[in-house]
Amino acid sequence: MQQKARIWGKGSSCRAGGLTFLPQITQIFQLICADFSRALCASLASYRSTFAPNPFQEISVNLRSISEISVKKIAVSRFYNALMQGNYDAIIIGAGAAGMFCAARAGQRGRRVLLIDHAEKLGEKIRISGGGRCNFTNIHASPANFLSQNPHFCRSALARYTPNDFIKLVAKHRIGYHEKTLGQLFCDESSQQIIDMLVDECKAGKVDFLHPATVQSIEKNDRFRVNTSRGEFSAEKLVVATGGLSIPATGATGFGYEIAKQFEITVTPLRAGLVPLALDAPEMERYGMLSGVAFETIAHAAPREVSAKKKTERVNFREAALLTHRGLSGPAVLQISNYWNAGDEVVFDLLCGRDANDWLAELRARRPIVTSFAKALADVIPQRLAEAWAHAHIPATARDKSLADWNKTELANVARELNAWALKPSGTLGYKKAEVTLGGVDTRKLSQQTLEAKRVAGLHFIGEVVDVTGWLGGYNFQWAWASAAACAESI
Ligand SMILES: Cc1cc2nc3c(=O)[nH]c(=O)nc-3n(C[C@H](O)[C@H](O)[C@H](O)COP(=O)(O)OP(=O)(O)OC[C@H]3O[C@@H](n4cnc5c(N)ncnc54)[C@H](O)[C@@H]3O)c2cc1C
C-alpha cells in the first residue's frame, strides 16, 4: 500500500491523466480503503506542505492502480482531517530495530503510526549485524548482560518480552536460524530476512513509512508536532528510536540525544562500546607482526591497582582475542571494551583459568625434560604468539636454560604473567569501528514499564538511545525488541 502512495508522491506533478483530488474529495474517498488512505494522506500532507501550501489548491493525483484497491467505505471526516493535518496516534523517529518493531506492534494494536527515518535504506545496522547474518537474540539474555547507570532498569522490559518471544516471531516468518556459540542465535541465510520480517510486521500493523525525510523541528503543545522535510505531522505520542552513534555511515546520528536535551532530559556520558582497542608503538613493535593471530583467553579490564573488593566484582569473558595491525580485537576484547576506561589495563589469562604454577610444575616434571618454554606454550596458544610472548617475558638468563633449571623467581614471574598478561591500550578505535554507544538517555528520567519520560507525557525513548547497553552476542537486539514491545503496549 505504501508503494502506491510513493508512486503518487513521485509522479504527481508530471504525469498526465491524473485525477483532480481536493474539489471532489468525497467522491473519491468512497473508493479508497483505509490502509491506502493513510499512506496517501501522509504523502498528500507532505506534498501539500512542500509544493502546494494552500489546502484548496488543486493537487493532481495519478491513481493508476485504483482498480486494485479493495472497496471499503471510510469515514470521510477522519480521512479529511488526517489529510489536512497529518495526524497520527504515534510518530516514531528512527526505523531501525527498535523503531520498526515498536511501530509494528503499536500498529497491530490499532494505533495509527507514522515511522520516520532520514535514511534511504531502512535497518542498515541490522543488515550489517552479525557479519551479515544478524545475531538477533541470545537465549541466555538477562539483566546481568547489560550495562547502565541503573542496572535494574532493563528488568521489566526484558522480562515481558523474552528471547523466546522473538524466536517465535522468527519461526512464524519461516526464517532459519542456528545457535553459533554461547546462546547466540544467527540467521542461517541473511540479516535481510530480519529487515523483511520487520517491514512485513509493520505492513500488518498498517504503519506509514516516511523516508528519507529529515526531522527539522519538534514542538509539543497538546500534541507533538513534527516538522519534516516532507511536511508537518502531529501525534499524541512521540517515540525516539534513533539509536546510537556507532558506524555513522549507516545513518547513525546523535539526534535522539538532542531531542532528550530539548525536553530537558539528561543524557549520561557517551562513549564507544564493543570496540577494538589501540596499542601504543612499543607494544605494536612486539606484537604488530602477529596481526591476524587469535587466541582463546579469559579477559578483563581493570585499573592497574584494583582493590580486593573490585576484583571480585569484575566481569571476565572467556572468548577469542585477536591481535590486529592497530592493536586488539576479537570477541573477548570487544566485550571488555565495554568495561574499559582510559588508563585501564586489559588483562589476559593465557591459560584460561588453569593455575600457571601448577602448569609449570607439571612441565618441569615431564620426561623427557621440557627444554623450550616457547614450544610448551605453543601447546596452549598459537605458536607465533608463544614465541613472541616468550621472547618478551622470559629474561635472557632463563631463555637458554632448560625449564627444570629455572629458579623460583623466574618461575613465579612467568606464572604471574601467564595468568595475567596485562597490556595498556592507548584508546579505542572510536565510533567508526564500534558496535554500540555506551551511555544515553538517563534511565532515571524514564519509566521502566513504558519507557516514557517521567516529566514529558507521551515522549518515549527506546533501543540503543537509552542508557542500556548489552554485551556482544545478540543482547543489544534483544534490548531493542524488548524496549520496543514495552513501549508499544503503552501507546
Ligand atoms: C557492525 C555492527 C554489528 C552489530 N551486530 C549486532 C548483532 O549481531 N547482534 C546485536 O544484538 N547487536 C548488534 N549490533 C548492535 C545493534 O545493531 C544495535 O544495538 C541496534 O541496531 C540498536 O537498535 P536501535 O533501533 O536502537 O537503533 P538502530 O538500529 O541504529 O536504528 C536507528 C535508526 O534511526 C535512524 N536515525 C538516526 N538519526 C536520525 C535522524 N536524525 N532522523 C531520522 N532518523 C534517524 C537511523 O537511520 C536508523 O534507521 C551491531 C552493531 C553494529 C554497528
Instruction: Find the range with the poorest average confidence among 50-54, 390-394, 423-427.
Output: 50-54
Phi first, then psi: give them for residue 89, nearest 5 degrees.
-75, -40
Alpha carbon of 125 to ligand 1 centroid (Å): 5
Looking only at the bridges linking them, the beta strands covering 87-93 and 113-116 are: parallel
Which residue type does 276 have?
A: P
Grid cell listed for 82: 488526517
Is 255 touching ligand 1 by the criterion CB < 6 Å?
A: yes
Is 388 touching ligand 1 by the criterion CB < 6 Å?
A: no
Position 229 pLDDT exceeds 90: yes
Alpha carbon of 157 to ligand 1 centroid (Å): 19
Position 394 pLDDT exceeds 70: yes
Grid cell listed for 5: 502512495
Ligand 1 pocket, mutate which of 428, 435, 475 (most atoms under 8 A from CB)? 435
Strands annotated E in 208-280: 208-210, 215-220, 224-228, 231-240, 271-273, 277-278
Of the candidates 33, 34, 52, 1, which has an alpha carbon nearest to the alpha carbon of residue 21? 52
Instruction: Find the range with the poorest average confidence among 8-17, 133-142, 239-248.
Output: 8-17
Cα separation, 164 vs 174, whole angstroms: 15
Grid cell listed for 18: 491524473
**Closest ligand 1 atom, residue 474 Cα:** 11
Q: How many secondary structure helices (H) and strands (E) does the chain include?
A: 19, 23
Cα separation, 410 vs 8, whole angstroms: 79
Q: What is the pLDDT of residues 54-110, one digit of tens each?
A: 333 334 444 444 444 433 333 334 444 455 458 999 999 999 999 999 999 999 999
Grid cell listed for 246: 556507532
**Closest ligand 1 atom, residue 254 Cα:** 38
Is 251 touching ligand 1 by the criterion CB < 6 Å?
A: yes
Is 246 touching ligand 1 by the criterion CB < 6 Å?
A: yes
Grid cell listed for 447: 519509566
Q: What is the pLDDT of residues 306-337, one digit of tens each?
A: 655 566 678 999 999 999 999 999 999 999 99
Atom 39 of ligand 1, nearest CA residue: 242
pLDDT for position 75: 38
Cα separation, 138 vs 109, whole angstroms: 27
pLDDT for position 42: 55
DSSP assigned state of 173: T
Atom 53 of ligand 1, nearest CA residue: 435
Grid cell listed for 265: 532530559
Is 461 touching ligand 1 by the criterion CB < 6 Å?
A: no
Domains of the chain with CATH codes: 2-85 (no CATH), 97-272+433-490 (3.50.50.60), 277-428 (2.40.30.10)
Is 90 touching ligand 1 by the criterion CB < 6 Å?
A: no
pLDDT for position 308: 56
Is 428 touching ligand 1 by the criterion CB < 6 Å?
A: no
Is 464 touching ligand 1 by the criterion CB < 6 Å?
A: yes
Alpha carbon of 170 to ligand 1 centroid (Å): 19
Q: How many CB atoms lie under 10 A from the CB of residue 317?
A: 23
pLDDT confidence of 12, banded at 50, 70, 90? very low
pLDDT confidence of 396, banded at 50, 70, 90? confident
Atom 35 of ligand 1, nearest CA residue: 94
Give me the helices (H) in 246-382, please. 255-262, 281-287, 308-313, 331-337, 356-365, 373-377
pLDDT confidence of 34, banded at 50, 70, 90? very low
pLDDT confidence of 369, banded at 50, 70, 90? confident
pLDDT for position 37: 53
Position 262 pLDDT exceeds 80: yes
Q: Which residue has the cell 469515514?
A: 75
Alpha carbon of 480 to ligand 1 centroid (Å): 9
Ligand 1 pocket, mutate which of 116, 129, 214, 436 (most atoms under 8 A from CB)? 129
pLDDT for position 69: 40
pTM: 0.85
- Pick the more confident residue, 425 or 282: 425
Alpha carbon of 243 to ligand 1 centroid (Å): 5
pLDDT for position 372: 87
Grid cell listed for 239: 517515540
Instruction: Find the range with the poorest average confidence among 211-220, 259-268, 400-409, 439-448.
Output: 400-409
Is 184 touching ligand 1 by the criterion CB < 6 Å?
A: no
Atom 47 of ligand 1, nearest CA residue: 251
Position 119 pLDDT exceeds 90: yes
Is 273 touching ligand 1 by the criterion CB < 6 Å?
A: no
Atom 48 of ligand 1, nearest CA residue: 96
Cα separation, 169 vs 156, whole angstroms: 20
Mean pLDDT, residues 214-235: 95
Alpha carbon of 103 to ligand 1 centroid (Å): 15
**Closest ligand 1 atom, residue 246 Cα:** 53
Cα separation, 343 vs 98, whole angstroms: 34
Q: CB-based burial of residue 364 (10 Å sphere; 0-12 exposed, 13-18 middle, 19+ buried)? A: middle
Alpha carbon of 97 to ligand 1 centroid (Å): 6
Instruction: Find the range with the poorest average confidence among 27-41, 308-322, 413-427, 438-452.
Output: 27-41
Is 276 touching ligand 1 by the criterion CB < 6 Å?
A: no
Is 99 touching ligand 1 by the criterion CB < 6 Å?
A: yes
pLDDT for position 313: 74
Is 118 touching ligand 1 by the criterion CB < 6 Å?
A: yes
Q: What is the pLDDT of residues 131-143, one digit of tens each?
A: 999 999 999 999 9
Q: What is the pLDDT of residues 338-353, one digit of tens each?
A: 999 999 999 999 999 9
What residues have CB less than 8 Å from 53, skipping those under 6 apart? none
Beta bridge partners of 215: 228
Alpha carbon of 46 to ligand 1 centroid (Å): 26
Of the candidates 215, 214, 232, 211, which has an alpha carbon nearest to the alpha carbon of residue 223? 232
pLDDT confidence of 397, banded at 50, 70, 90? confident
pLDDT for position 303: 79
Looking only at the bridges linking them, the beta strands covering 231-240 and 87-93 are: parallel
Position 38 pLDDT exceeds 60: no
Is 163 touching ligand 1 by the criterion CB < 6 Å?
A: no
